[in-house]
Amino acid sequence: MSENEKPRLTRLTDVLTQLQSKKILTAREIAEKHQISIRTVYRDIRTLERSGIPIVTIEGKGYSIMQGFNLPPVMFTESEANAMITAEQIIAGNKDKSLIEEYQNAVAKVKAILRYSQKEKVALLSERIVVRKKDENQNTSNYLMIIQEAVTNFKLIKISYESLQNKKTERLVEPFALYSTQENWLLIAYCRLRKDFRVFRLDRIKKLQVQHQQFEAHKMTLQEYFEICKEKYSN
C-alpha cells in the first residue's frame, strides 16, 4: 500500500504505536514499515508533536517517546485480534512449556481490553481454529522464559547439562542468544568451562539456576556470530 492509499490518520496512529514499541526508532525504520518517504516521516513526527505527543529527537539516532508518558490501551482491528488467536494456537504446540504459559497470560491481558463485539468474535474463532500437532510434539523443556531474562539482563546461569552421548557436566555460561529449529530450542552461550561459545539444547538442560553475578555484554551481533561459525566450519 502506498502512502497515498493509506489514510494519514491511520498511518499516524500506526507510527505512534511503532514509537511505543521500541526505545529508539529511526526515520528509516518508520519509512520502511509504512512505505513512505523520509520527508513524509519528518512531517508525521512534527504533526504528532503538535498534537501533544512528547517525542524526543535523539541526534544521529532517531526518535523516542518521553519516559513516563503513557497512552490509553491500543484498540485492535478484527484482523489483528484474529492473528493473535491464531498465534495462540500455534504457540500452544511449542515444545517449551514456559513459553506457552507466559503467552497465554499475555493474551488473556490483551483480551481484557478488547471491545465486547471483538470478545465475542475472538471467543468464536478460538473454538473454530485448530493447529494439529504430531503425537510426539510434547513439551520437552521449561526454561525458555528464564533464559530470555538472563540474556537481556546479562546474568550468568549455571546449568546441569546432559549431552546426546549422555555425558553429564556442570557449566557456568554467559547466555548470548536463542533460536529454534522447530524441533528444539537452542541456547548460544559462552561456556566458561570450555572458554568458547557453545550451543546447548534446552531439552538437555536438567537443572538451571540464574546467578546474581552479571557478565559484560559480548561485542558482536547474532549475525556476526553466525558468520564466524560459517567461516570456522568451512575451514
Q: With respect to residue 164, please indicate whether it lies within any of the assigned structural domains.
A: yes
Q: With respect to residue 175, please indicate whether it lies within any of the assigned structural domains.
A: yes
Instruction: Say if residues 211 and 197 touch (Cβ distance below 8 Å).
Output: no
Count structural domains, the chain: 3
**At which of 27, 44, 65 does a domain end?**
65
pLDDT in tens, 80-100: 888 988 998 889 888 899 999
Mean pLDDT over 189-196 rounds to 95
pLDDT in tens, 144-167: 999 999 999 999 999 999 998 999
Q: With respect to residue 44, please indicate whether it lies within any of the assigned structural domains.
A: yes
Instruction: Give residue 1's pLDDT band: very low, low, confident or very high (50, 70, 90).
Output: very low
Q: With respect to residue 36, please indicate whether it lies within any of the assigned structural domains.
A: yes
The enclosing domain of 28 has a CATH number of 1.10.10.10
The predicted model scores a pTM of 0.68
- What pLDDT shows up at residue 132? 77
Count CB neighbours of 150 within 10 A: 23
Q: With respect to residue 105, please indicate whether it lies within any of the assigned structural domains.
A: yes
Q: With respect to residue 181, please indicate whether it lies within any of the assigned structural domains.
A: yes
Instruction: Say if residues 185 and 141 touch (Cβ distance below 8 Å).
Output: yes
**At which of 19, 44, 65 does a domain end?**
65
Examine the domain organization and report whether 106 and 24 are in the same domain: no
**Where are any strands of DSSP class E within 135-227?**
155-162, 168-180, 185-191, 196-201, 205-214
Examine the domain organization and report whether 193 and 216 are in the same domain: yes
- DSSP for 52-100, please give it: T--EEEETTTEEEEPTT---PPPPPPHHHHHHHHHHHHHHTT-SBHHHH
Q: Which of 85, 25, 16 has its CA nearest to residue 57?
A: 25
Q: With respect to residue 109, please indicate whether it lies within any of the assigned structural domains.
A: yes
Examine the domain organization and report whether 228 and 148 are in the same domain: yes
Examine the domain organization and report whether 224 and 151 are in the same domain: yes
Q: With respect to residue 1, please indicate whether it lies within any of the assigned structural domains.
A: no
The enclosing domain of 202 has a CATH number of 2.30.30
Examine the domain organization and report whether 86 and 37 are in the same domain: no
Count CB neighbours of 35 within 10 A: 13
**DSSP helix/strand/coil, 157:** strand
- What pLDDT shows up at residue 188? 96
- What pLDDT shows up at residue 22? 81
Averaged pLDDT of the chain: 87
Examine the domain organization and report whether 156 and 198 are in the same domain: yes
Phi, psi dihedrals of residue 112, rounded to the nearest 5°:
-65, -25
Phi, psi dihedrals of residue 157, rounded to the nearest 5°:
-130, 145
Examine the domain organization and report whether 87 and 122 are in the same domain: yes
Examine the domain organization and report whether 96 and 118 are in the same domain: yes
How far apart CA 134 and CA 225 sit, in angstroms, is 33
DSSP state of 23: S
- Asked if residue 2 has pLDDT above 70, the reply is no
Domain holding 54, by residue range, is: 8-65
Higher pLDDT, 133 or 176: 176
Examine the domain organization and report whether 88 and 151 are in the same domain: no
- DSSP for 127-150, please give it: HH------TT----B--HHHHHHH
- Asked if residue 21 has pLDDT above 90, the reply is no
Mean pLDDT over 14-23 rounds to 83
